[in-house]
């Protein structure tokens, strides 16, 4: 049996072991605003509920390991003392992953991830309309565990009001766990779907993805592509060139002995098929074809 003392490991190595061993973990999709009211949205898997009376949740935005800086979420909760914690189900998991990219301060991750801002009733931060359960919270305190890279900051939140989508409620107003379809975080690229088991999502690229907000309107408003599809498409740094698109489509029609794909709907359906296999590049070439 391998044995370790934390002081003998680099912070990055220790972090990796902890995240892989303590899993799966629920995800707090935390919505905040800064002092000027600019929205921010980011996921955190150091999270759970710790009390029912009063209803208290804690999540922990850790200091970045690589440069010991703090995240915008932490800065916002310290400044405004408010947060909305949205749960993450399978339908929005790729959009959630895209929102975890390190966009500059002031960039609205709701727009980047293609998610809808829903006004809260009692706090200033917006809710994620697509999330099946949303908790409006006041921040009672923030406890810094250390000042080193990788150190956690316990954001202790008291629930003031929460909202549950009717679609996940049973007739007796209990939550149907199957319909809720929650997703949890594990180590590396792994996630766990509560009703199905493990799956992988590649981490967002180190260079910032274009985001859903920069996609052509016919893609953003597609009746075929899902939120998860848009999340995958948004996690690319640059789009294929016209020449790359033309070459790919010529090879596609030649190899499959098919006619040129004419309608947007057909393109979207074929692109979604490629996305189901994780082939984002080919999906983009189909969507951009003329």
In this predicted model, what pLDDT tens digit does every residue of 31-61 receive, in sequence order?
Answer: 999 999 999 999 999 999 999 999 999 999 9
Residue 206 confidence (pLDDT): 65
CB atoms under 10 Å from CB of 117, counted, come to 16
In this predicted model, what pLDDT tens digit does every residue of 175-226 receive, in sequence order?
Answer: 999 999 999 999 999 999 988 877 777 777 666 889 999 999 999 999 999 9
Instruction: Tell me phi and psi for residue 269, to 5 degrees.
Output: -65, -45
Residue 198 confidence (pLDDT): 73
Residue 256 confidence (pLDDT): 61
Q: Which of 175-179, 229-233, 248-252 has the lowest mean pLDDT?
A: 248-252
Bridge partners of 49?
57
- Closest C-alpha among 242, 245, 215, 228 to residue 181: 228
Q: Which of 96-100, 203-207, 209-213, 271-275 has the lowest mean pLDDT?
A: 203-207
In this predicted model, what pLDDT tens digit does every residue of 103-159 receive, in sequence order?
Answer: 999 999 999 999 999 999 999 999 999 999 999 999 999 999 999 988 999 999 999
> What average pLDDT score do residues 80-100 get?
96
CA distance 11 to 151: 10
Residue 197 confidence (pLDDT): 76
Instruction: Please report, for the chain, the start and end positions of each structural domain, with discontinuous segments joined by +.
Output: 6-196, 217-288
Sign of CA dihedral 162, 167, 168, 174: positive
pLDDT band at 66 (very low <50, low <70, confident <90, very high): confident
CA distance 182 to 167: 14
Q: Is 90 exceeded by the pLDDT of residue 278? A: no
Centroid of chain to Cα 257? 39
* Cβ-contact 187, 20 below 8 angstroms: yes
Return the higher-pLDDT residue of 52 and 278.
52
* Cβ-contact 34, 79 below 8 angstroms: yes
Q: Is 70 exceeded by the pLDDT of residue 257? A: no
**Structure token digits, residue 234:** 């948004």
The vertex-132 CA angle with 127 and 133, nearest 5°, equals: 65
- 277-286, long-range: CB < 8 A, 24+ apart: 278/202, 278/232, 280/232, 280/233, 280/235, 280/236, 281/236, 281/240, 282/248, 283/232, 283/233, 284/233, 284/236, 284/239, 284/240, 285/240, 285/244, 285/245, 285/248, 285/249, 286/248, 286/249, 286/252, 286/261
Inter-CA distances, 36 with 19, 128, 181, 288, Å: 34, 20, 35, 38
| 6-196: CATH superfamily | Electron Transport, Fmn-binding Protein; Chain A (2.30.110.10)
């Amino acid at each position: 049996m391998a044995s370790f003392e934390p002081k003998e490991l680099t912070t990055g190595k220790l972090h990796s072991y902890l995240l892989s061993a303590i899993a799966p973990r629920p995800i707090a999709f935390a919505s905040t605003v800064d002092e000027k009211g600019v929205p921010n949205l980011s996921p955190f898997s150091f999270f759970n509920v710790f009390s029912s009376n009063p209803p208290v949740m804690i999540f922990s935005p850790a200091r970045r390991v690589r440069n010991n800086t703090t995240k915008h979420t932490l800065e916002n909760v310290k400044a405004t003392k408010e947060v909305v914690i949205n749960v993450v189900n399978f339908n929005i998991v790729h959009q959630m992953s895209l929102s975890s990219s390190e966009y500059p301060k002031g960039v609205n991750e709701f727009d980047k991830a293609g998610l809808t801002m829903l006004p809260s009733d009692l706090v200033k931060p917006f809710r994620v309309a697509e999330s099946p359960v949303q908790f409006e919270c006041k921040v009672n305190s923030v406890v810094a565990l250390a000042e080193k890279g990788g150190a956690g900051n316990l954001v202790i939140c008291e629930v003031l009001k929460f909202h549950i989508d009717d679609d996940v409620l049973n007739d007796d107003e209990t939550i149907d766990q199957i319909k809720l379809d929650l997703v949890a975080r594990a180590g590396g690229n792994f996630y766990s779907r509560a009703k199905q088991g493990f799956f992988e999502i590649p981490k967002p690229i180190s260079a910032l993805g274009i985001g859903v907000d920069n996609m052509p309107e016919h893609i953003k408003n597609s009746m075929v592509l899902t939120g998860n599809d848009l999340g995958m498409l948004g996690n690319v740094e640059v789009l294929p060139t016209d020449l790359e698109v033309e070459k790919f489509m010529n090879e596609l029609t030649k190899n499959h002995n098919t006619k040129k794909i004419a309608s947007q709907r057909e393109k979207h359906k074929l692109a979604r098929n490629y996305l189901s296999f994780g082939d984002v590049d080919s999906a983009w070439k189909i969507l951009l074809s003329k």
